[in-house]
């Protein structure tokens, strides 16, 4: 907290410094030229004072023109300096944010909850950035204000401001028993079938006050926007404003869609966490079917995310060491979501090979009534390691064709990334690594069911951690 306070003091001091600098420049008399610049010019003008009257008249006119030129030059310099000052202040805010993000352990952070299904950016830790973010959110409503607005623009702005106040009031609402208010952020683009997802969210959510739905739309696709708008006051509809083309390195052209998704996620998460002041958010994409206990699952596991700093949220990008920071994700083995969107930025590749085989849970589980403390790291790791490495070792051939005399779970070992890839491919698992982390792996172990038997695809028992060179 002390470090967080120091960042607030630094930010406030530099903001005051910027304002004072602005007024110093603004109040300098425009007719008083810069002395250092004008000394040489005055000398040149004095050297023509001995000429005739005609020359003096010409010189007087020249002086007047030079003076006007100097005033214009001064104004241009002032404008440039002010722009540089504002640019420096914006950069300062970014630097403070980055510094705080790089030292999350030293700050009083709260977690955010997410349900990730494709390549997404990491959720920002809100409380660590709240001191800086509040300064931004207080001015964010007026970000686009320049000069006088037309009546239509004023009406639009007033409507937007009122919606922001309404959403913030929901975020700050105190529910009975201290229950959390959790925003549901739905990402949409150009699928009119977003209604299929929204219908299930609205049907299954326990309370509109506890789970306000925000639909963030990219692409400016009018038919999709009309579908979202048809839900009226059951949700909030926001639109990502930056539809410009993104400069992409030539080698990355095939990932253009992912670049746009990343931009959309960054904008929408900043809106939800900073502008609207939510502390927690569940992320849903527009092509998901949901189980009936979808909200119950997140409510049941929310206390774990608050208590255990080694927990985070799933995503390919988060498998990288700089994001993961030795954290893990709790997930239901039987999925609470299933994608129905075959066509997307991955062109249906993963859908045909993997996603269409996902089994959606059909039995309601009362997670909030269960004791889930066994999932806390200190409790879970001991039992998990014991269970995995006490399992008898078998080969893939034995698993596939031979009768196994052992009851219970079995283990197939791997020692290199090549062995892992070959084995997982034969088993029909996704064989990819990200910075040494196998998909769905925990402590390098991938757990799955094969013909009704629990199988662990596991590294050596003396596992030392992930090797980022495995890819």
Last residue of a domain, one of 305, 339, 374: 374
Cα distances (Å, whole numbers) of residue 360 to 154, 260, 332:
47, 29, 11
CATH code for the domain in which residue 431 is found: 3.10.180.20
pTM passes above 0.75: no
User: Are 193 and 266 within one domain?
Assistant: yes
Judgement on whether residues 86 and 180 belong to the same structural domain of the protein: no
Q: Which of 326, 357, 374 corresponds to the end of one domain?
A: 374
Please tell me what DSSP assigns to residue 348.
T
Q: How many folded domains does the chain comprise?
A: 3
Query: Same domain for 392 and 255?
Result: no
261 in the same domain as 128? yes
Q: What is the pLDDT of residue 199?
A: 99
350 & 453 share domain: no
Output the CA angle 86-104-276, nearest 5 degrees.
Answer: 60
- Which CA distances in Å does 252 have to 245, 247, 249, 256? 14, 10, 5, 7
Q: Is 331:343 a contact under the CB 8 Å cutoff?
A: no
The tokens for 2 are 């002390």
Tens of pLDDT along the chain (471 residues) come to 444 555 555 566 666 566 555 555 444 444 444 333 333 333 333 233 333 434 444 455 556 556 566 666 666 666 665 666 566 566 556 555 555 554 443 333 233 333 333 333 233 335 333 433 333 444 344 444 445 788 888 888 898 999 999 999 999 999 999 999 999 999 999 999 999 999 999 999 999 999 999 999 999 999 999 999 999 999 999 999 999 999 999 999 888 999 999 999 999 999 999 999 999 999 999 999 999 999 999 999 999 999 999 998 777 677 788 888 989 999 999 999 999 987 776 656 678 888 888 999 999 999 999 999 999 999 999 999 999 999 999 999 999 987 888 889 999 999 999 999 999 999 999 898 989 999 899 999 999 999 999 999 999 999 999 999 998
Question: Are 120 and 83 members of one domain?
Answer: no
- Please name the residues in contact with 462: beta carbons below 8 A apart, sequence gap of 6 or more: none
Residues 414 and 344 in one domain: no
**465 found inside a domain:** no
The per-residue pLDDT for 9 is 55
Q: Do 384 and 360 have their domain in common? A: no
State the pLDDT at residue 8: 55
CA distances from 344 to 253, 349, 434 (A): 16, 9, 22
pLDDT of residue 28: 46
315 among known catalytic residues: yes
Q: Is residue 72 part of a domain?
A: yes
Q: Do 204 and 75 belong to one domain?
A: no
User: What is the CATH number for 190?
Assistant: 3.90.550.10
Do residue 311 and residue 400 come from a single domain? no
**246, 362: one domain:** yes
Residue in 90, 289, 315, 316 annotated catalytic: 315
Question: Is 471 part of any domain?
Answer: no
**Whether 335 and 190 share a structural domain:** yes
């Amino acid at each position: 907290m002390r470090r967080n306070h120091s960042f607030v003091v630094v930010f406030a001091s530099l903001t005051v410094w910027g304002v004072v600098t602005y007024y110093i420049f603004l109040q300098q008399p425009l007719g008083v030229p810069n002395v250092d610049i004008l000394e040489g010019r005055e000398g040149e003008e004095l050297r023509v004072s001995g000429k005739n009257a005609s020359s003096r008249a010409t010189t007087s006119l020249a002086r007047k023109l030079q003076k006007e030129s100097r005033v214009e030059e001064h104004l241009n310099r002032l404008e440039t300096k002010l722009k540089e000052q504002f640019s420096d202040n914006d950069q300062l805010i970014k630097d403070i944010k980055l510094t705080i993000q790089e030292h999350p352990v030293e700050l009083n952070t709260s977690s955010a909850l997410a349900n990730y299904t494709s390549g997404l950016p990491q959720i920002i830790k809100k409380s660590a950035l709240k001191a800086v973010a509040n300064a931004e959110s207080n001015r964010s409503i007026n970000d686009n204000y320049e000069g006088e607005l037309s009546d239509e623009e004023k009406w639009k702005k007033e409507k937007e401001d009122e919606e922001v106040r309404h959403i913030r009031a929901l975020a700050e609402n105190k529910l009975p028993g201290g229950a959390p208010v959790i925003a549901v952020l739905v990402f949409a683009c150009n699928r009119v079938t977003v209604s299929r997802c929204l219908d299930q969210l609205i049907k299954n959510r326990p309370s509109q006050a506890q789970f306000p739905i925000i639909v963030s739309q990219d692409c400016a696709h009018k038919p999709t926007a009309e579908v979202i708008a048809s839900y009226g006051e059951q949700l909030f509809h926001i639109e990502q404003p930056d539809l410009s083309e993104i400069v992409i390195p030539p080698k990355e052209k095939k990932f253009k869609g992912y670049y746009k998704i990343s931009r959309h996620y960054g904008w929408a998460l900043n809106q939800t966490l900073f502008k609207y002041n939510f502390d927690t958010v569940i992320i849903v994409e527009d092509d998901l079917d949901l189980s009936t206990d979808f909200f119950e699952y997140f409510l049941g596991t929310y206390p774990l995310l608050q208590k255990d700093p080694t927990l985070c949220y799933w995503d390919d990008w988060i498998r990288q060491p700089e994001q993961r920071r030795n954290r893990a994700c709790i997930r239901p083995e039987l999925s609470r979501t299933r994608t129905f969107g075959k066509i997307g930025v991955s062109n249906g590749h993963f859908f045909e090979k993997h996603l269409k085989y996902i089994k959606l849970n059909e039995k309601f589980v009362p997670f909030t009534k269960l004791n889930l403390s066994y999932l806390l790291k200190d409790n879970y790791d001991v039992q998990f390691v014991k269970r995995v490495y006490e399992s008898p070792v078998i080969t893939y051939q034995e698993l596939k064709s031979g009768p196994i005399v052992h009851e219970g779970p079995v283990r197939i070992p791997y020692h290199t990334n090549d062995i892992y890839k070959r084995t997982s491919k034969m088993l029909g698992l996704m064989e990819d690594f990200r910075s040494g982390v196998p998909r769905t792996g925990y402590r390098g172990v991938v757990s799955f069911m094969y013909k009704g038997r629990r199988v662990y695809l596991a590294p050596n028992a003396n596992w030392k951690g992930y090797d980022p060179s495995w890819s």
